[in-house]
Copies of this chain bind each other. A is one copy, B any other.
Amino acid sequence: MYDINVKRVAKVLKKCREYLYWVQNSVFEGEISEVNYKKLKKELDRIINTEEDSVIVYTFRSTRYSKRETMGIKKGGDDNMI
């Protein structure tokens, strides 16, 4: 998920969509290989301004020890990963 200056957010959204599913305002999910994950981080690093923007990535090696719950409507996401 990210908190990006409006000048750059469309680029970040577009880039994340290449690898993951959009699930909610500034939140993406999905399974991603180590190689693609490194690629995505490198590409995001070129887009964001590290003095202004913030990206947080939670990676789960296994979904057995975590749970995902939603309240309200389901906004996006082709198939939620947990």
Contact = CB atoms under 8 A, between A and B. Distances in A.
B58 A82 contact: yes
A55 B25 CA distance: 10
Interface residues of A, number: 39
A55 B70 contact: yes
B52 A72 contact: yes
A58 B23 CA distance: 13
Given A50-B72, A52-B73, A59-B66, 16 more contacts: A1-B24, A25-B54, A45-B71, A48-B71, A48-B72, A50-B73, A52-B72, A53-B71, A54-B74, A55-B71, A57-B71, A58-B58, A59-B67, A61-B65, A61-B66, A62-B65
